[in-house]
Structure 1
């Protein structure tokens, strides 16, 4: 198995996010406080564990291609006890979902467009 070195920018990205959020909080304290309270409530231990919630969020971040959230929730997964295998399974599910979304659009909407657009040519 190949060994991947951590990106040098992972820590910098976390710092950038926290710094940006801090600046936003200074400029828009009411919005930031409501956002922070909401996200804290969403990630509290509940029927789903914090680890499970961060695994879900990681999958969503990967699918959305949101680099800051990928880094943040990978850290959240690790901080809440997720192991590498659990994170890799999350990546697999995310890839299946992303591929499934592409396939479902391709076999429906794109094929319908081909038929309709070809009819317009006639």
Structure 2
């Protein structure tokens, strides 16, 4: 039964790609914005000011003699093209959003992470635990 459902699913997905048009314009290009990541980059969010933030999850199995890094939040500035660390350690953040006030909301993960939800006031840099 699983095999039949798998074939049906693949067939539906395949036919939808054939019928649909690409969501990426033909004149679009790919630019390399970041090459310094450790393991797994995710949680991309754009702040109201246009800065782009994303999580870089570092796992304990990759810890070196200096210890566990517990993740990083990186910031990319599209005006300068520069990327730098915004917060480290990040509590193994794996989800970033911005609220109506423009504050950063971060879901911190497991594996030496905070296992909590944090709000960072982007004006002051202070962080507050919302849940955890």
CA radius of gyration, larger in? 1
The structure whose residues are more often helix, as a share, is: 1
* Superposition TM-score tier, normalisation by shorter sequence: under 0.3
TM-score (norm 2): 0.24
Higher relative contact order (CA 8 A, sep 6+): 1
TM-score (norm 1): 0.25
